[in-house]
Amino acid sequence: MRGSTQIIQLRGRAIRRGGSPSIGCLLRFPVISLYAIAVTILSCTVARAVQPLPPLMKTLIEVFPEQSGWFVEGPVGTAPGMPDDVRPFFECPRVIVPEYHKVDLAVGKAVSAEVKLSARKITRYDHKPGTPGLPGFRGVWCAAEDKTGPGFLLLTPNENRFLIWARHSYYPAFAVDSIQSKIRDAYARAVADHLTSIDYGVPATVPPHAVGRNLPAWMDLYPDTIETTPEQLARFDSALTVAVEMKLGECSGFTEAAITQATVDRFIAGAKDTLYENLRAPALQYEYGNFLRSTVKRAPVIALTPAEFDSLPPGWYIFAVDQYRRVRVARTTEPSLVKATAGLTSNSPTLSNHALLFPDQPLLAAGCFDLALRNNQRSIRTVTIWSDHFFYSPMSPSIQRDILDSSDTVLPTLGHFFACLKAMGVVLDGVRIRKF
């Protein structure tokens, strides 16, 4: 429900102090499958500070509104060994074009907005793949006529994947003397061709394998980065089906607490501008691979605005807050259904995952929430945050302690999510919070 912000006295309402929840409580706790959260709040902090939305990105959002299906992203970031002629591609904003057949429309929008976008010169690598330092690249590069202003890219989601793969897997290979440049570059073209075939509607194309080309396994587009032995899955399921005690202010000692607006404001004031960086990009490609192989219909990614919030149907959603304090959400599966299919990862009913919200971008917060509709008014019933401390590290018997320690550290990041909702006029008094 949206409306004027209300300050309501602390009601002191909390649920289940200490210990494990009862069976009745357990059914209400969010249970997220392994593949649904492999890229969430990410495992290493970034030294850089949160920045305001850059002017060029603001303009791009005006020209390519996210509510219409375009998504404007910040820079991918550079890597050692990257040639100077391709660095601008990795240092500039990107417009993610939802489908390949809309690339012409995107180019047209960029041309028609020439004044706003400072008279851009457009180079279409999708017509002639490759650049001197990035074999197979198929994006559309938009640069200033005098080449002094910042440029930007128009990319399909799969061309964006190629850019991310190149940063984390292609350029690091430059530093390995045993890797032959011809083989390395041929593999880059093969990866680009595979991703282009997906854009053309042929997702069943067999992806090229690095090892089969005498290249290291870490260069593979779909490296097997997540171990899923039965024992690991059992520990994973156990860890995410039992909420643990919180250690934060008046919420300390409770596994679930209904907070007041005053507590919400304290969360907002206490949220640190710490960015959590994805240092394991292969996990993103792994998620996309799951996404493409799945026969389950996926929910669209939504850039959250007051109008979008007012149109969300009831149910469970994942959320993420990026470095520019933007929020994106997507529907996810009813937790009880996810629990029922725990371990059946290939048939998971999960509708979306954090990997697709802000691909390979640093985050301020991530988690899930339960939206209810009562008397035609929307309200958030529960917000849950969790740590991915163990998702990118070997699972061990100490997994429960790892989760507890890490999730206590990231619990205050909920303040970033609350700040965005409060700015939209969403009433948060009485929302329940949890962590795993």
Residue 61: its H or E element: helix 55-63
Of 228, 362, 190, 255, nearest to 17 by C-alpha is: 255
Domain annotation covers residue 192 = no
Provide the terminal-to-terminal Cα distance of the chain, rounded to the nearest Å. Answer: 26
Please give the distance of CA 40 from its chain centroid, rounded to a whole number. Answer: 6
Domain annotation covers residue 5 = no
The pLDDT value recorded for residue 45 is 42
The pLDDT value recorded for residue 167 is 92
Of 289, 301, 279, nearest to 391 by C-alpha is: 279
DSSP for 193-249 reads HHHHHHHTT-TTSPPP-SGGGT--GGG-SS---S---HHHHHHHHHHTSS-----SG
The verdict on 230 and 356 lying in the same domain is yes
- Final residue of a structural domain among 157, 185, 213: 185
Length reported for the chain? 436
DSSP β-bridge partners for residue 377: 374
Q: Which two tokens stand for residue 308?
A: 């979008």
Query: What does the alpha-carbon distance between residue 96 and residue 356 come to, in Å, rounded to a whole number?
Result: 12
Query: What does the alpha-carbon distance between residue 333 and residue 355 come to, in Å, rounded to a whole number?
Result: 16
The verdict on 24 and 59 lying in the same domain is no
The verdict on 96 and 245 lying in the same domain is no
The verdict on 233 and 178 lying in the same domain is no
The pLDDT value recorded for residue 136 is 96
Q: Which residue has the tokens 């009880």?
A: 336
Residue 160: its H or E element: helix 157-165
The verdict on 27 and 61 lying in the same domain is no
> Which residues span the domain enclosing 376?
14-38+226-435
Domain annotation covers residue 174 = yes
CATH of the domain at 80: 3.30.460
The verdict on 241 and 365 lying in the same domain is yes
The verdict on 30 and 79 lying in the same domain is no
- pTM attached to this predicted model: 0.79
What is the chain's alpha carbon radius of gyration, rounded to the nearest angstrom? Answer: 22
Domain annotation covers residue 338 = yes
DSSP for 76-115 reads ----TT--TTTHHHHHS-EEE-SSGGGHHHHHHHHHHTTT
The verdict on 158 and 252 lying in the same domain is no
- Determine how β-strand 327-332 pairs with β-strand 377-385: unpaired
Query: What does the alpha-carbon distance between residue 402 and residue 398 come to, in Å, rounded to a whole number?
Result: 6
The verdict on 313 and 411 lying in the same domain is yes
Q: How many structural domains is the chain composed of?
A: 2
Domain annotation covers residue 219 = no
The pLDDT value recorded for residue 312 is 92
The pLDDT value recorded for residue 131 is 87
Query: With contact defined as beta carbons under 8 Å apart, do 226 and 38 qualify?
Result: yes
| Nearby residues of 145 by Cβ (< 8 Å), 6 or more positions away | 119, 120, 121
- Final residue of a structural domain among 185, 217, 244: 185
The verdict on 153 and 268 lying in the same domain is no
- Final residue of a structural domain among 185, 217, 234: 185
Query: What does the alpha-carbon distance between residue 338 and residue 207 come to, in Å, rounded to a whole number?
Result: 28
The verdict on 355 and 262 lying in the same domain is yes
Tens place of pLDDT for every residue, the chain, 436 residues? Answer: 444 323 223 333 333 333 333 222 322 323 222 223 233 333 334 445 677 899 999 999 999 998 888 999 999 999 888 999 899 999 999 999 999 999 999 999 998 887 788 767 899 999 889 888 999 999 999 987 776 678 999 999 999 999 999 998 999 999 999 999 999 999 999 999 999 999 998 867 788 999 999 999 889 998 765 555 555 555 555 555 567 777 777 777 777 888 899 999 999 998 988 887 765 566 677 777 766 766 666 678 889 989 899 999 998 898 999 999 999 998 887 655 555 555 555 455 455 567 778 888 888 888 889 999 888 888 899 898 764 433 333 444 454 455 555 567 778 889 999 999 999 999 898 899 887 6
Residue 175: CB atoms within 10 Å: 10
Query: With contact defined as beta carbons under 8 Å apart, do 190 and 208 qualify?
Result: yes
Write down the number of H helices and E strands in the chain. Answer: 13, 15
